[in-house]
Amino acid sequence: MRFTHQMKGWVSIMMRSLFAGVSGLRNHQIKMDVIGNNIANINTIGFKKARANFQDVFSQNVRNSTPPTAERGGVNPLQIGLGTSLASVDNSFEQGKLQITERESDIAIQGAGFFIVNDSVQNLYTRVGTIEIDASGHFVHTATGNRLQGWLPTRSPDTGSIMIDRNKAIGDLDINGDDVRPGKKLPANATSTVHYGCNLDQSQPIGASHVTAIGVHDSLGREYSYQMRYEKMDTITWTENGETKSGNVWGYTASLPGDTPLNTPDTSTINPKPISLNLGDADGDGFTGFVVFDVSTGRVASGATAVQNGLIATADDYVDGMEIVARTNFVPSETDGGVASALPVQIYTNFDEVTEFASPMTTSAKAQNGYSLGVLETFNIDETGTITGVYSNGYKESLGQIALANFTNPSGLIKAGANMWSISTNSGLPQISAAREGGTGKISSGVLEQSNVELAAEFTDMIVTQRGFQANSRIITTADQMLQELVNLTR
């Protein structure tokens, strides 16, 4: 029997089914590759699983469609598919489970966002939060040495306090420090503010006194005992908005060791304005000031003017913003146990939380902002990504803040190895913010994010993929048998 033209057409049809089966085999093999990679990384920190998706390829038109007419209905097109192709491999950025490590430098993001690291060429993005400090003092990604990015602290020109300015560009985070920010060492800081709180007993008679003390520091970190003595001086009345009010005047005397505090303030020369005076000067006189309390409220009589027997005390003169303050200057000297080379110290004594209720004397110094030299001992990271250094002098200061990046289309990121990602034309530019801002999650320390691969789901997909592969191989063997039968017709 000759091989007719019609037989050649059948062979062509058989070849079509063979190639469809081959495309199925090829793409199911790719899907198995993706599943295998997922399972291989089930214990990889910060790994994000992937998923292979298929689509059909173009179809062969055997017959075109025809529209309906007045006499007969329309006919649908007749198409035969030519197999399958790989549509995409999507990355899933679902949250992985958190594993407690109890290592302070291990961090994880709960929610959206990526840590930003720099490999000296470009910024890369990762969910892996294994961080350490290298020999150069930089915070780095443990496995790669890429430097962690964020905002370094600066010192406020107004208050002198440490602050984070997130309007500046991000950069390498480190503990090296400089003249305006803390680092491995926290330079000594002279006391500039002392806060007092609690209560002066309103029921005490004229002449009653109370003494409290707190350690303050000069510019070289030497500590002094800064004492404040309170004495109930007088009871006065004044008129405010047509209403007669009563108040108690308390004098206070600030002193350092070696000074002679004034036992009886000179009530004839009260100057209610903040006064600058050297403590430890030749005559040994301490600084004396006055505070007036409204007896009906137990609070400092802010806004009131007390006038009695020529005694004038205006509480407003002690107001600095919303705080009641008095200013004291002293020059450190060896007599005070200090160092003569230290810079002069100016202390604002703050009474904004002092009250005068009919309760026992409990007034004490709450806080002061001076300290001696401190060496960095450890650090901790809070949920906003702020890195706080803990120093040997007991103080804590910000070392910086970790920046996070978010993307409009994180699935468009390109894998760069070592669980790092780089931007692509379809990921969008990174939207950089602090944790819990701009749609990013919070940062947890002492934990790491595990892989989001679910083993049961992967095994199920593997079974389905295996059966799909077997089915496509059966297409090939069946088509081969049919071709063999066709060839046998020629015998």
Predicted confidence at residue 306, as pLDDT, reads: 38
- The tokens of 481 are what? 């048998």
Residues 428 and 466 in one domain: no
Residues 359 and 272 in one domain: yes
CA Rg value for the chain: 40
Distance (Å, rounded) from C-alpha 468 to C-alpha 456? 18
**Which of the listed residues 346, 372, 398 is the one where a domain comes to its end?**
372
**Which of the listed residues 342, 372, 402 is the one where a domain comes to its end?**
372
Distance (Å, rounded) from C-alpha 411 to C-alpha 93? 8
**Which of the listed residues 372, 401, 421 is the one where a domain comes to its end?**
372
Residues 225 and 290 in one domain: yes
Helix 5-40 with 455-488: angle, nearest 10 deg: 160
Residues 209 and 306 in one domain: yes
Residues 209 and 301 in one domain: yes
Residues 44 and 82 in one domain: yes
**HSE-CB of 362 using CA atoms within 13 angstroms:** 11
Interior CA angle at 368 toward 367 and 370, to 5°?
A: 145
Residues 250 and 329 in one domain: yes
What are the contacts of 304-309 at 24+ separation with CB within 8 A? 304/238, 304/240, 304/245, 304/247, 305/238, 305/240, 306/236, 306/237, 306/238, 306/247, 306/249, 307/236, 307/238, 308/234, 308/236, 308/237, 308/238
Distance (Å, rounded) from C-alpha 396 to C-alpha 132? 19
**HSE-CB of 334 using CA atoms within 13 angstroms:** 2
Q: Which amino acid is at 345?
A: V
Pairing of strands 123-126, 153-155: unpaired
Looking at residue 474, the DSSP 8-state letter turns out to be H
Residues 321 and 296 in one domain: yes
Write down the number of H helices and E strands in the chain: 2, 37
Residues 290 and 218 in one domain: yes
Residues 282 and 156 in one domain: no
Residues 444 and 483 in one domain: no
Residues 32 and 72 in one domain: yes
Distance (Å, rounded) from C-alpha 302 to C-alpha 312? 14
pLDDT in tens, the chain (491 residues): 455 555 555 556 667 788 888 899 999 999 999 999 999 999 999 999 999 999 988 777 778 888 888 888 888 888 887 888 899 999 999 999 999 998 989 999 999 999 999 999 999 999 999 999 999 999 999 999 999 999 999 877 666 678 888 999 999 999 987 766 778 888 888 887 787 777 889 999 988 888 888 888 877 888 877 777 788 877 877 777 778 888 887 877 777 655 433 333 333 333 333 322 222 232 323 435 667 788 888 887 754 443 333 333 333 333 333 333 444 545 555 444 445 556 666 676 666 678 889 888 886 777 788 888 888 899 999 999 999 999 998 888 899 999 999 999 999 999 999 999 999 999 999 999 999 998 999 999 999 999 999 999 999 999 999 999 999 999 888 887 888 877 777 66
Torsion over CA: 366, 224, 157, 151 (sign): negative
Look at residues 142, 98, 140 and name the one whose alpha carbon lies nearest to residue 117: 140
pTM given for the model: 0.72
- The tokens of 100 are what? 């407690």
Q: Which amino acid is at 213?
A: A
CATH number, position 201: 2.60.98.20
Per the structure, the count of domains in the chain is 3
Domain housing 153: 98-186+375-449
Predicted confidence at residue 140, as pLDDT, reads: 96
Contact call for residues 316 and 302 (beta carbons, < 8 A): yes
Predicted confidence at residue 256, as pLDDT, reads: 65
Distance (Å, rounded) from C-alpha 414 to C-alpha 126? 11
DSSP string, 67-82: ---SSS--B--EEEE-
- State the residue for tokens 């100016």: 346
Predicted confidence at residue 295, as pLDDT, reads: 87
**HSE-CB of 218 using CA atoms within 13 angstroms:** 22
Look at residues 211, 218, 234 and name the one whose alpha carbon lies nearest to residue 279: 218
- The tokens of 332 are what? 């450190």
